Amino acid sequence: MNLKVTNSPFTEAQATQLNAVLDTLTTDQKIWLSGYLTHASTESQSSVDTTKVATVNTVEATQTTSPNVARSLTLLYGSETGNAESLADLFEARLKSLNFDITKKAMDEIKPKTLKKLEDVLIVTSTQGEGDPPSNAVELHEYLHSRKAPNLEGMRYSVLALGDVTYEYFCQTGKDFDAKLSELGATRLYDRVDCDVDYEADAEKWITNVINALDEQMSSTTPSQAFVRETVQRESETKHSKTHPFQAEVLENISLNGRGSNKETRHIELSIEDMNESYEAGDCLVVLPQNAPQLVTQLIEVLGWESNTPTQINEDGDTLPLEEALTHHFEISKLTVPLIQNAAAHFGNDDLSSLTDDKETIRAYIEGRDFIDLLNDFVTTDLAPEDLYKVLRKLPPREYSIASSYELEPDEVHLTVGAVRYTAHGRERHGVCSIHFAARLQPGDTVPVYLKHNPNFRFPTDPEQKVIMIGPGTGVAPFRAHLQDREARDWKGHTWLFFGEQHFTTDFLYQTEWQTWLKDGYLEKMDVAFSRDTEEKVYVQHRIQENAATFNQWLEDGASIYICGDEKHMAHDVHQTIVNVISRMRHISLEEAEDILKQMKKDKRYQRDVY
Ligand code: NDP
C-alpha cells in the first residue's frame, strides 16, 4: 500500500513522510491507527498533535471517568496451553485501564450454579483436538449442556473462540458456548469471532468491538480513551513476540538417537543471551519457521511465476517477492477445508468447485496432500499473485516445550525436536519446523523465537511435594527442565519419571542424564517402557499398572501428576490407566476415581502439556 499525491489529499512531502511511517507499521499498529484517526476526526478539535493527545487523554480519563459499574462484567476463559489465558490477561488489563469493573476467572473458578447471577460475560476459549473443551472449561460446558442449565435471560455476552482450521471441529467449544448461551436466553453483545492459529489481529478486533459495544450501552467511556490506553499499554510491552521475535543463535544441534533407529530426535541448544527474559520449566519456546527451499522452488515452478513476482500477502496490500512470501509468510505444506473452499473461488476449475460440495470429500482429499498437489490436480490459469493471500493462510509458529532450566543455564534454551518425515501420495513430506531444525540449521545460524509462558504446566514450589512425570518420546522435554531445576536448587528425592520410546539401545533420550540424576538422588524413581523391544508392545501405562500400589500411595501422599507428549492416544490411555489404578487400589467406582482426578485438575495437581 502506497500513498501518492494522485490517490490522496496529501502534498508530496506529506505523502513521503506518511509512507515512511506506514512502511514500518505492523498490521496491529495499522488497525489501531485507523481506529484512532476515525475517532479523532469526529472530535471537535481535529488538528492537534496526536502524541500529546494520547498522553493528556490518558491522564484526564483516569482522573475523571467514574467506574463503569452499571452492570457487572465477567471475563471467563477456558485454556489448555495458555493462549486463551494470556489473551484474557491482556483483555483484563485493557478493560481495567478503561475503568471497567471487571472480574476475570478461569471457567473452573466459578461455581456453575452462580452463572445465572452474571450480567455481562465475555468468553475466551480454546478447543482441544476433537472439539473438546479445554480441561478448565469441561465442568461449565457440561453444566450448560445438562438438564440443570439455567435460564439466562438478562445476560449479555460475546465469545472469542480460538482454534486451528486444520481440525475438523474448528473452534467447537467457542461455538458450543455461543449457541448454548443464546439458547438459554442470553443476548449477544457482539458476534462470536472464530480465530485460526494466527489469532492476534482477529482477537484485537473482537476486543475493540466488544469495548465499543459496552461503551455504546454504557456511554461513559469514549472509544478514543480505549485506543489511547491501548497504545500506552502496548508501549510498555517490551517482550519479544510474534511481530518482534528474538534472533536466537543455534549453539548445538545433535541427534539423540543411535544408528538404526526409526526416529530422528534432535537436541537443539539456542542462545538467548541478550534476550533479557526468563522462563520456567513447563514454558514453551515459540519458533517462527520457514518452508523448505526445495519445496518453495518446486511450488514456484508449478505456479509458473517468477521468484521475484510481487505477491500480495494481506488485505492491506503489502507485497513480498514470491520466493520470500512462500518461504516466510504462507503455509504451503498443508491443505485445510477453508483453503480448498477459497481455492475453488479463485482457481476457475470446475472439478475443484464440485469437490467443495461435500466437506467429507474435501477432508478425504486434503489428507497427506499439499498446495503443490492441489495445483497439479486442479490446474488453474485464473489464480493471480494478488489472490494468493486469499487462498493460503499464514505460516503458523511452532511451540516446543523447553527442555532446559533457566536456573542452570540462564543464557540458553534447549529443545527436543522430533523430525517429522513421511511419504504420502508418492511424495516425501516433511514437518516444516522440525526439518528446518533437523536438516538445515547449523551452529552459528539464527532462528526467530519468543517465549510463551504456560501457567497450566507449573511444577511445585515445595521441594517436598512429590512429582510424577509421564513423558514418552519428545514429551520428556519439560521433565529434563524440571530435573535441571531441582539439581540447581539441590532438591533431592520426591520425583518419579515414566519414559517410553521404541528401543532401549537407540531411543533412550538423555539416558546418561537420568542415570546421573538417579545416582545423585534428584530423581527418586524411573520406569521405562521400550515399546518395540518385546513381542508385545509395552507402554508407560503398563509400567504405571505394574506399580499401581506405589503409584496410588504417591497420590495419597499428595503427589502431582504431569503428562507431556502425544495427545491423540497416549494422554488418553494414560488417563484411563490412572483412573483404573485409583479405582482398583481404593476400592471405589471408576466414576469416583474420575472425580478424584477432576478435583486434582482443579487443584493443579494433574497437569498436561499434550500435542
Ligand atoms: P511418540 O509418542 O510417537 O512415541 C513415544 C513412545 O510412545 C513410543 O514408544 C510409542 O510406541 C509409544 N506410544 C505409542 N502409542 C502410545 C500410547 N497409546 N500410549 C503410550 N505410549 C504410546 O513420540 P514422539 O516424540 O515421536 O511424538 C510425540 C507426539 O508428538 C506424537 O503425537 C507426534 O505425532 C507429535 N509430534 C511431534 C513433533 C515433534 O517435533 N516432536 C512434531 C509434530 C507432532 P510405538 O511407536 O512403538 O507405538
Q: Residues 298-346: pLDDT tens digits? A: 999 999 999 999 999 999 999 999 999 999 999 999 999 999 999 999 9
The pLDDT of residue 168: 87
Cβ atoms of 168 and 138 within 8 Å: the answer is no
The pLDDT of residue 33: 62
Distance 471 CA to ligand 1 centre (A): 10
Amino acid at 454: N
Residues for the chain: how many in total?
611
Nearest CA among 392, 397, 395, 393 for reference residue 447? 397
For residues 234 and 232, give the distance between their C-alpha atoms in angstroms, rounded to a whole number: 5
The pLDDT of residue 598: 92
Nearest CA among 196, 207, 274, 210 for reference residue 234? 207
Please tell me the residue having the least CA distance from ligand 1 atom 41: 418
Please tell me the residue having the least CA distance from ligand 1 atom 28: 566
pLDDT digits (tens, 9 = 90+) for 465-520: 999 999 999 999 999 999 999 999 999 999 999 999 999 999 999 999 999 999 99
Q: Check whether 394 has a pLDDT greater than 90.
A: yes
Q: 280: Cβ below 6 Å to ligand 1?
A: no
The pLDDT of residue 236: 39
Please compute the mean of the pLDDT values over residues 525-538 and round it to a whole number.
97
Choose the residue to mutate in 474, 480, 499 for probing ligand 1, maximizing ligand atoms within 8 Å of C-beta: 474
Q: 531: Cβ below 6 Å to ligand 1?
A: yes
Distance 541 CA to ligand 1 centre (A): 13
Nearest CA among 164, 406, 198 for reference residue 282? 406
Distance 566 CA to ligand 1 centre (A): 5
Q: Residue 176: CA atoms inside 13 Å, Cβ hemisphere, count?
A: 24
The pLDDT of residue 45: 37
Q: 503: Cβ below 6 Å to ligand 1?
A: no
SS3 525: strand
Lowest-pLDDT choice from 5-9, 400-404, 428-432: 5-9
Distance 336 CA to ligand 1 centre (A): 23
Residues of 529-556 as b/e, b for ≥16 C-beta within 10 angstroms?
bbbeeeeeebbbbbbbeebbeebbebbe
Choose the residue to mutate in 284, 544, 566, 575 for probing ligand 1, maximizing ligand atoms within 8 Å of C-beta: 566
Q: Check whether 19 has a pLDDT greater than 80.
A: no
pLDDT digits (tens, 9 = 90+) for 199-229: 988 999 999 999 999 888 765 444 444 444 4
Q: Check whether 50 has a pLDDT greater than 90.
A: no
Report the chain's mean pLDDT, rounded to a whole number.
89
For residues 171 and 213, give the distance between their C-alpha atoms in angstroms, rounded to a whole number: 23
Amino acid at 84: A
Distance 530 CA to ligand 1 centre (A): 12
pLDDT digits (tens, 9 = 90+) for 559-575: 999 999 999 999 999 99
Q: 539: Cβ below 6 Å to ligand 1?
A: yes
Among residues of the chain, what percentage have pLDDT more than 90?
A: 78
Phi and psi angles of residue 493, each rounded to the nearest 5 degrees, phi first: 70, -175
Q: Looking at the DSSP assignment, which residues form a beta bridge with residue 249?
A: 271, 446
For residues 391 and 345, give the distance between their C-alpha atoms in angstroms, rounded to a whole number: 9
Q: 473: Cβ below 6 Å to ligand 1?
A: yes
For residues 131 and 167, give the distance between their C-alpha atoms in angstroms, rounded to a whole number: 8
Please tell me the residue having the least CA distance from ligand 1 atom 30: 566
The pLDDT of residue 357: 85
The pLDDT of residue 59: 30
Cell 512429590 sits at which residue? 466
Distance 472 CA to ligand 1 centre (A): 7
Distance 332 CA to ligand 1 centre (A): 25
Q: How far is CA 39 from CA 34, 55, 223, in A?
A: 9, 16, 7
For residues 125 and 353, give the distance between their C-alpha atoms in angstroms, rounded to a whole number: 33
Question: Confidence class of residue 37 from pLDDT cuts 50, 70 and 90?
Answer: low
Please tell me the residue having the least CA distance from ligand 1 atom 38: 418
